[in-house]
Structure 1
Amino acid sequence: MSYADNVVRWLRERLDRDPPLAQPRELTLALRVLALWRASVIVDAFVAHHGRVVLQGPFAGMAYVEGATEGALAPRLLGTYEAELHPYLLALAAEGLDRVVDVGSAEGYYAIGMALLARDTQVYAFDTAPKARAACAQMAALNGVADRVVIGETLKPEDLEAYGGPRSLVLMDVEGAEEELLRPDLSPALAHTHIIVEAHEVYRPGVAARLTERFAPTHHVTQLAMGGRTLPLPDWLMASNHLDQLLAVWEWRLGPTPWLVMRPKSLNA
């Protein structure tokens, strides 16, 4: 049964209820299900035009595995994904990094992307999901960087001590566990480490403010909210309807997930 067939069956089951899709919450969920289906159609169209290769942005040219193990695939392939971080990633790569630690790496968008962007960098990718680790290994091989990407499963707060330092970057997207993992009291090396973390306010209200307060003594902290997408879309997508253009760059977020970009003050000393 195809994805479209599953969506139709899901909708039919709910339309057969009495009353059908009666609550606003149910209608919102139905809208999201249909949007996810349409996003998958857009991915198929992208692959037909360009193959499984990132089109633009810092990781342009990166070969991709068949699907994202977490989150939206279309904006990753388009190169619009989390575009707010692009200037910071490019700046850090230009300054020079010895290592990148990607915690919550999924299939490796950042792990493999940073290995390509910073060619002398050792990358450590951690994810608790076996499917994600397998996809990350596959993508490292596809892009010829498997020798510089070490894939692991779990990471404790104190483990970050081994990876910290002024030429290290910790990237973290762990669906709300960032508050438990980013503990400078357990890993003092974090005081001198570049950190970019997604703060999952949708799951942990106030977590961005708490992490900002925690790292303010040692870091310059910049909070970034998601904004509009201004990177150009390919011609075939520009010729499509406006809804498809919006869904192509939609990142599936359920609520606020600001990023904290934390640069160690010790580098200014």
Structure 2
Amino acid sequence: VTLSKTITDQLVASLSQQSDNPNATLNNALRLLSKWRSVLIQNTLVGQEGTKVLQGPLKGLDFIERSAEGCHIAKLLGCYEQPLQPHIQNALLGQYTKIINIGCAEGYYAVGFARAMPLLTSLAFDTDPNAKNACRQLAEKNEVSDRVTIGGLFSPADFAKYENESALVFCDIEGAEEELLDPDLAPALRKLDIIVESHECLRKGITQKLISRFEATHTIEIIEDNGSRQLDNPPAWFKKLSHLDQLLATWEWRSGPTPWLVMSANSKAAC
């Protein structure tokens, strides 16, 4: 069964159902078609350029052909989560010896950091077995398996292991950051730098709740994302795509706001 056939069947099934909210039905249909088109452009990119990230702080990372979850082509183009990239670059230039990547998915950041920082140990955690397997394969592909350790569920108590480390917590766990990032449960967090995606679209008010927890111990910057992207030097064939296709290529499939909090500890761990 082809991708087009699968999408067509899903679209017909959705549109044929009676709905009290036709706007929501059409919105879901639009998202489905947009994802389909994004995947087609992704396949063209992989065919034309291969799987190496084209720009950004992780440029040169030899990625995979398909992400464990969510959008993929924006990662290959190197514009993924672009508003956060200056802070990623700062982290790469920092003195961290470990990154604790909670919600690592296929390892875009976990392996990307390890590749960019030869002295760094990357600790990658995810509860999805497929994601962990993809991360393991990505580490092997980029020859950093010796510095990428992959684990499963990460609990607040686990932060204590790193309270005396020069470590960066990098967290993207679909709203569960509300339970995990609690300095009352994990006092070590008060001295660790944290970059966390706040899933405001899934848990309204979570951003302010996290700020309230850490504003006494950290300097906090909120990184908002308006969805716009800039490609430094896109491939010639990409420039010939329609404007809609170019937009879909950089779209990250988000359903709502997910600001990032970049939180730098005022008092660092003694290393």
Give the TM-score normalised by structure 2: 0.94
Question: For residues 119 and 22 of structure 1, do their structure 2 counterparts lie closer, same or farther at Cα, with a shift above 3 Å needed?
Answer: same
For 1:258, give the aligned amino acid. P
Partner of 1:24 in structure 2?
23
Work out the CA distance in 1 between the residues paired with 2:220 and 2:126. Answer: 25
Identity of counterpart residues, as a percentage? 42
Paired residues for 1:35-46 under 5 Å? 35-46=34-45
Q: Is the 2:46–2:65 Cα contact (8 Å) retained in structure 1?
A: no
- Map of 1:104 onto structure 2: 103
The offset of 1:76, in angstroms, is 0.5
Q: Deviations over 1:199-249 (max 9, x none)?
A: 001111111111011001110000011132123332211111000110011
Deviation of 1:12 after TM superposition, in Å, equals 2.8
The answer on whether the counterparts of 2:14 and 2:29 sit within 8 Å (CA) in structure 1 is: no
In structure 2, give the amino acid aligned to 1:193: L
User: Displacement, 1:162?
Assistant: 1.0
Q: TM-score, normalised by structure 1?
A: 0.94
Q: CA deviation at 1:116?
A: 1.1
Deviation at 1:65, TM superposition (A): 1.9
Maintained 8 Å contact 1:97/1:167:
yes
Alignment of 1:80-229 (within 5 A): 80-165=79-164, 167-227=166-226, 228-229=228-229
Give the secondary structure class of the aligned counterpart of 1:170. strand
Secondary structure at the aligned position of 1:25 is classed as helix
Q: CA deviation at 1:187?
A: 2.1
- The structure-2 alpha-carbon separation of the partners of 1:13 and 1:93, relative to structure 1 and needing over 3 Å to count, comes to closer
SS at match of 1:100: strand
Specify the code of the residue in structure 2 equivalent to 1:253: R
Instruction: Name the structure 2 match of 1:258.
Output: 259
Alignment partner of 2:101: what SS?
strand
**Equivalent residue, structure 2, for 1:6:** 6
Give the Cα separation in 1 of the matches to 2:239 and 2:169. 36
- For residues 214 and 17 of structure 1, do their structure 2 counterparts lie closer, same or farther at Cα, with a shift above 3 Å needed? closer
Q: Is the 8 A contact 1:199 1:260 kept in 2?
A: yes
Paired with 1:192 and 1:16, the residues of 2 have a C-alpha distance of: 55
User: Residue in 2 aligned with 1:49?
Assistant: 48
Partner Cα separation in structure 1 for residue 201 and residue 16 of structure 2: 32
The change in CA–CA distance for 1:8 and 1:145 in structure 2 (over 3 A counts) is same
User: Offset at 1:22?
Assistant: 7.6
Please report how far the alpha carbon of residue 94 of structure 1 lies from its aligned counterpart in structure 2 after TM superposition: 1.1
Q: Which of 228-237 and 85-94 deviates more? A: 228-237
C-alpha distance in 1, partners of 2:17/2:112? 46
Three-state SS of the structure 2 residue aligned to 1:266 is coil
Residue 8 of structure 1 aligns to which amino acid in structure 2? T
| d(CA) in 2 for partners of 1:251, 1:2 | 23
Q: Which residue of 2 aligns with 1:75?
A: 74
Provide the aligned length of Structure 1 versus Structure 2.
Answer: 266
Look up the SS of the partner of 1:231 in the other structure.
coil
Task: Give 1:143 deviation, angstroms.
Answer: 0.2
Amino acid at match of 1:9: D
How far off its partner does 1:165 sit? 4.6
Query: Cα 1:146–1:22, aligned 2, differ >3 Å: closer, same or farther?
Result: same
Quickly say closer, same or farther: Cα 1:217–1:14, change in 2 above 3 A: closer
SS at match of 2:33: helix
Aligned counterparts of 1:16 and 1:211: Cα–Cα separation in 2: 42
Which letter maps to 2:259? P
Root mean square deviation of aligned Cα: 1.6
1:165/1:193 contact within 8 Å kept: no
Structure 2: distance between partners of 1:176 and 1:18: 32
The unaligned stretches of length 5 or more in structure 1 are none
Which residue identity is paired with 2:250? Answer: V
Give the conservation status (yes or no) of the 8 Å contact 2:15–2:25.
Answer: no
Q: Which letter maps to 2:242?
A: N
Per-residue displacement from partner, 1:124-148 (whole Å, max 9, x unpaired)? 0000000000000000000000000
Structure 2 unaligned regions, length at least 5:
none
